[in-house]
Amino acid sequence: MITYHKIQVEDCNVFYREAGAKDKPAVLLLHGFPSSSHMFRELMPELADEYHLIAPDFPSFGQTESPDREHFTYSFDHLAKIGDKFTEAVGLTKFAMYVFDYGAPIGYRLAMWHPERITAIVSQNGNMYEEGLGKKWEARKAYWTNPTPELRQQFSSAFALETIIGQYTFGTPEGSVGPDGYSLDFYYVNLPGRAEMQNDLILDYRSNVALYPEFQKYLRDNQPPLLAVWGENDPSFIPAGAEAFKRDLPNAEIHFVPSGHFALESHHTEIARLMREFLKSALG
């Protein structure tokens, strides 16, 4: 059974989903763009018999409150600080993380700040290596170097329905992805004020790439158990990003599924099986 809650963190009333008994090993599930904790709707029931699962929505995503930009900074560092305070508010002192897309640099910050809290990492298309960035990032890097108003407006195409559908369906088996996820994402990302909040995050993504060496150092210094399970046809974060984990974590487990960016939409059962086997070994 999944239950639904809200808790106050700074200026945000943070929405989160929860499943599994609290005396079970904890797993924090961190969503990506343009999604929300809704992306874990099918994964959580598959693991709730053995794990305590918590999946929050970040500010400017899903059901979490989104303070206006004059009073709240929409940066990855700030979202990570909200995530850090959220884990403390819900009583997570030791936990594994499932990180995906935007949730990856947020989760990796949490791991750097509190390595003693992290029991294991599952990275599903959650990149921390330059070689994992697909060709689409070349245009983003040009924007980060010269963030003109015209380019900012151009990247607003990321919120178009056609773009979001493409994120969900590209590289997936035909007919394997239902419309629910991308339809809900389109609704949330187009709520009043959110487009500009999301544009702030698109620009600030450069801070994540700048931190890649520090994320990698965290891995080398702490050697956390890590499972990389990747949608192999993802044009955003390509398979080389999964394979690169072996450079810093020789014991990392690397698996690919025949899907795209939102691999849970088509392969949640297989990913749940891989997670269960990995977490049983990693957590004992």
As separate numbers, helices (DSSP H) first and strands (DSSP E) second, the chain gives 12, 8
CB 49, CB 20: distance < 8 Å: yes
Nearest alpha carbon to residue 98 among 46, 136, 140: 46
Between helix 103-113 and helix 76-89 the angle, nearest 10°, is: 60
Are residues 102 and 201 in contact, defined by beta-carbon separation less than 8 angstroms? yes
Q: Please give the Cα distance from 38 to 146 (Å, whole number).
A: 34
Whether 261 sits among the annotated catalytic residues: the reply is: yes
Question: Where do the H-state alpha helices sit in the chain?
Answer: 43-47, 76-89, 103-113, 136-145, 149-154, 161-169, 180-189, 194-210, 212-222, 239-243, 245-248, 264-283
What are the backbone angles phi and psi of residue 5, rounded to the nearest 5°? -145, 165
Catalytic choice (31, 38, 52, 261): 261
Active site positions, annotated: 261
